[in-house]
Amino acid sequence: MVSSSHEAMHRIFQEDPGIFARTFAALGIPFPEPIAVSLLPTDLTEIQPLERRVDSLLQIDTASGVSYLLAVEAQGKRDPDKPGNWAYYLAHLYAKYRLAPVLLVTCQDRATARWAAEPVIIGVAGWETLTVRPLVLGPHNVPAITDPAVAAADIPLATFSVITHGRDPNAAAILKALATALKTIDEDTAQIFAELTELGLGTAPAADLWRDLMTVDLDFFRSQTSQRIREEGREQGREQGRAEAQAAAIFEVLTLRGIKVSDRGRRRIADCSEFDLLHQWFRRSLTATTEDDVFSDGDEHSGRL
């Protein structure tokens, strides 16, 4: 089962693909800033009884006219099967799109990052047929952003910094910088990145601190934990406003991710006044690939459209 932290690690690149070029520029690895980005299908399955999916797949177009593919994989631990899968991904993508593929692996601990960064050499002694060289982002090279001004200048990178440094002894300063920075942007965008942060931290020790920070300004943040506290003592009229804001956030996420929603589905979201149900739909929208995934049969309110 794919974890929420796994999803958050690669979804950030869908929210802001430019984070890839900016991060590696800071590390002295030059990649041109994208001028256009296309979200491509992640299914790399051939007509065989074996399914292979990359986490995220983006086509990056640059001002120089050069385009390449960015395949993002979130890796939580060592997996002896992954090097073979990565070799398959890259060969298949090159054959299908005729564009140079770049494999980006994101990790949340140094040991996994070191393992993932090792080149995968396929061939016989004296003759290397294929070499896979993943680019790896993790706590070993992603900057720990502790300055709120720096975090505000690049919210996606600051969010990724929090997730990759969730087990860092200095995690408190990194989280506080992001929490302060989120107050400088519009509420809907802040809600998306606050939610991604909570999902990405998972069970890391910093998760409890993040939930505490989200309760400080309850009129601004809407993470899962802060919503439960905010509900206490609120007037019923305010509840409707919160439901409308959550519905708007669902529409924004689905639009950003290119998921089409039917007129009936839009009415269902817009007319719903139950905040808890809307919040479930919002969380599903972060990983859904179709409208049906949002309205899955995971709660008693769900039903077929």
Q: Is the pLDDT of residue 128 over 80?
A: yes
Which of the residue ranges 5-9, 155-159, 241-245 would you say has the lowest mean pLDDT?
5-9
CA–centroid distance for 180 within its chain: 20
Task: Indicate the pLDDT class of residue 4, thresholds 50, 70 and 90.
Answer: low
Average pLDDT, the chain: 78
Report how far residue 199's alpha carbon sits from residue 241's, in angstroms, rounded to the nearest whole number: 24
CA–centroid distance for 266 within its chain: 24
Question: What are the pLDDT digits (tens) for 87-103?
Answer: 998 999 999 999 999 99
Cα-Cα-Cα-Cα dihedral of 72, 73, 74, 77, to 10°?
-150
Between residues 80 and 170, the one the model is more confident about: 80
Q: Which uninterrupted H or E stretch holds 266?
A: helix 263-271
43 strand-pairing partners: 53
Residue with tokens 């993470």: 223
Question: What are the pLDDT digits (tens) for 46-103?
Answer: 544 444 567 778 888 888 888 999 888 888 889 998 999 999 989 999 999 999 999 9
Q: What b-and-e string marks burial along 14-43, b requiring 16 or more CB atoms within 10 Å of the CB?
A: bbbbbbbbebbeeeeeebeebeebeebebe
Please report the DSSP string for 170-203 in residue order. Answer: THHHHHHHHHHHHTTS-HHHHHHHHHHHHHHHTT
Give SS3 for 259: coil
Sign of the Cα pseudo-torsion (250, 244, 226, 154, in order): positive
The pTM score is 0.54
**Residues 40, 59: contact at Cβ < 8 Å?**
yes
Question: What are the pLDDT digits (tens) for 32-42?
Answer: 677 676 666 66
Task: Indicate the pLDDT class of residue 149, thresholds 50, 70 and 90.
Answer: very high
**Residues 239, 275: contact at Cβ < 8 Å?**
yes
Q: What is the pLDDT of residue 30?
A: 64
Q: What is the pLDDT of residue 50?
A: 43
Share of the chain above pLDDT 70, in %: 74
Structure tokens at 146: 């502790």
Query: 252, 229, 79, 223: which is closest to 162 by C-alpha?
Result: 223
Between residues 26 and 173, the one the model is more confident about: 173
Q: What is the pLDDT of residue 302?
A: 39
Question: What are the pLDDT digits (tens) for 225-254?
Answer: 445 444 444 455 566 767 787 888 888 888
Q: Is the pLDDT of residue 193 over 60?
A: yes
Rounded mean pLDDT, 7-11: 65
Report how far residue 183's alpha carbon sits from residue 158's, in angstroms, rounded to the nearest whole number: 13
How large is the greatest C-alpha to C-alpha distance in the chain, in angstroms? Answer: 74
Q: What is the pLDDT of residue 214?
A: 75
Structure tokens at 157: 């990178």
Q: What is the pLDDT of residue 79?
A: 92
